Amino acid sequence: MSAPLGARLAGADVVSDGDTIAAIATPTGRGALAIVRLSGPGVRAIAHALLDPVPETARRATHCRVRDHAGVVIDDVVATLYLTPHSFTGDDLLELSTHGGLVAPTAVLAAVIRAGARQADGGEFTRRAVLNGKLDLLQAEAIGDVIDARSSAAHRAALRQLDGGLSQRVGALRSRILDLEALLAYDVDFPEEDDGPVPRGRIQGVADELIAALDALLATGDRGTLVHDGALVVLAGGPNVGKSSLFNALLGEARAIVTDVPGTTRDAIEAVLDLPGWPLRLVDTAGLRETSDVVEQLGIAASSRYLGQAAVVLACGDDEATLDAARAALRERTTAPVITVATKGDLIPKREQMRADVVVSARTGAGLAELLALVERRLSEQHGEAAVDAPGLTRARHLAAVSAAGAELRAFGAAWRDDVLPATVAAIHVRAAAEALGELIGVVQVDDVLDAVFRRFCVGK
Ligand SMILES: Nc1nc2c(ncn2[C@@H]2O[C@H](COP(=O)(O)OP(=O)(O)OP(=O)(O)O)[C@@H](O)[C@H]2O)c(=O)[nH]1
Ligand SMILES: [Mg+2]
């Protein structure tokens, strides 16, 4: 991991609530190994109480027996000790590779807790790493994203964020805002001078440049959130035209139920399709039609909701009439680009007569690659190429912070230009802009921001 920005910003002092926390860091279930992780000031004492031999040298794998309080051997482990501040959390940290399965890791964790540790909360290890300046908040969030990634593109984006690229970009902007604040302070110190020591136009120019830079960063959020979450691609059209069959064929597995009864799909079904460029959230929906069946009506309402959020819609039909009906129904329900898809291509005698962007057959697989290429092309036309390596924003939290900073600078710029506010008052907007970015990186540690970021972390991370 490159530059630990958090360490530079927050100071490298190690902070800890004094507790030693412990958790099983691997998922429950049958497997070769599991990891019990503990961190805090009591790590070495617990190691002395339980391990034989006691690992003394940092960062060296030591094969030891674990004994419980009664001296009974409960597992054979490989222990690795990390000493403060050179550990993931910044505190002393011990990782025990135990045997897998249910019993061994649970018994080792119980012994560790009996020896003085307490069960860690979800994300508590990473939270300590942030509080100790080992990671900043964007990097901590990236760890969660690496673990939760549902596509290789989202995984790559998370690794880039973990590398600190986004933190550096946001940190650099924040420094420039702080410089602007300093320029203003200088101006305030010499109020008697007519034009001030810093020309008004120069301050205006700096503010304008910063607004443009924040806008450029904000513009990465559209593509970033699409890669992070997957671009929503909705299959829509009348009943029985072959939407679920196409959905299954694209996924390469039988996820949705297919029958020759119209109205088979009742609820929207979602799956991730991990394409090399854009990851897709593919959604199969209930066929759009007038119906008195309450369950089917609910399904159709769900289809409409998805259509409202779609990045691309596939209008499916198995003949001219159903294609026209799909086009018409979608005109009212979505503003996303629509690709018309003629389904059941194996049954169409003369393909060239179908007025559709692409002809596919779920049965033979014909046209599927062409359809996916078309989806990717539409997404790139709308949102720019997917595989751009520049660091960008990926979450609503990022977008909110950067747009708040932009709004504050705009408010400052307006007040400054019209000379309506004294410099000291106008400077409050500049300070607020810097604070919004500080909160984003975690330089300004607000408890509920930390809570929001770590809420969804797993225990042991
Ligand atoms: N020959 C052929 N038949 C297909 C193809 N795709 C679907 N079908 C048939 O068309 C019928 C309807 O397919 P579904 O995939 O359930 O259609 P749907 O649009 O999901 O229908 P609803 O869920 O009822 O809206 C089934 O009998 C499928 O076997 C295809 O590519 N070729
Ligand atoms: Mg269906």
pLDDT tens-digit map of 94-135? 999 999 999 999 999 999 999 999 999 999 999 999 999 999
Tell me, using a 6 A CB cutoff, whether residue 245 lines ligand 1.
Answer: yes
Q: How confident is the model at residue 6 (pLDDT cuts 50, 70, 90)?
A: very low
Tell me, using a 6 A CB cutoff, whether residue 250 lines ligand 1.
Answer: no
Q: How far is the CA of 320 from the centre of ligand 2 (A)?
A: 19
Among 234, 235, 240, 267, which residue has the most ligand 1 atoms within 8 Å of its CB, making it the best to mutate? 240
- Asked if 159-226+395-441 and 231-383 have one fold, the answer is no
Residue nearest to atom 27 of ligand 1 (CA): 260
* Whether domain 5-136 has CATH 3.30.1360.120: yes
Distance in angstroms (rounded) separating the CA atoms of residues 57 and 60: 6
User: What pLDDT was estimated at residue 189?
Assistant: 62
pLDDT in tens, 324-342: 989 988 888 889 999 999 9
Q: For residue 151, what are its two tokens?
A: 């596509």
Distance in angstroms (rounded) separating the CA atoms of residues 2 and 432: 29
Tell me, using a 6 A CB cutoff, whether residue 285 lines ligand 1.
Answer: no
CB-CB contact of 278 with 381 (8 Å):
no
Q: Residue 141's beta-bridge partner residues?
A: none
Q: How confident is the model at residue 305 (pLDDT cuts 50, 70, 90)?
A: confident
Local structure of 208: helix, strand or coil: helix
* CATH class of domain segment(s) 159-226+395-441: mainly alpha
Q: How confident is the model at residue 352 (pLDDT cuts 50, 70, 90)?
A: low
Q: How far is the CA of 227 from the centre of ligand 2 (A)?
A: 27
Q: How confident is the model at residue 46 (pLDDT cuts 50, 70, 90)?
A: very high
Tell me, using a 6 A CB cutoff, whether residue 240 lines ligand 1.
Answer: yes
Q: How far is the CA of 303 from the centre of ligand 2 (A)?
A: 12
Q: How far is the CA of 191 from the centre of ligand 1 (A)?
A: 77
pLDDT in tens, 30-42: 999 999 999 999 9
Torsion of CA 219, 223, 224, 226, to 10 degrees: 140
Q: How far is the CA of 344 from the centre of ligand 1 (A)?
A: 8
Q: Which amino acid is at 170?
A: V
**What is the domain partition of the chain in residue ranges?**
5-136, 159-226+395-441, 231-383
- The whole-model pTM stands at 0.78
Atom of ligand 1 nearest to the CA of 287: 25
CATH code of 231-383, in short, is 3.40.50.300
pLDDT in tens, 372-402: 999 999 999 988 776 556 778 988 999 999 9
Q: How far is the CA of 262 from the centre of ligand 1 (A)?
A: 9
CB-CB contact of 327 with 315 (8 Å):
yes
User: What pLDDT was estimated at residue 4?
Assistant: 39
Q: Which amino acid is at 84?
A: T
User: What pLDDT was estimated at residue 10?
Assistant: 40
Atom of ligand 1 nearest to the CA of 257: 16
Tell me, using a 6 A CB cutoff, whether residue 263 lines ligand 1.
Answer: yes
User: What pLDDT was estimated at residue 7?
Assistant: 38
Q: Which amino acid is at 32?
A: A
**Nearest ligand, CA 245:** 1
Ligand 2 ion: Cβ-proximal residues, 5 Å cutoff: 244, 264-265
Atom of ligand 1 nearest to the CA of 241: 19
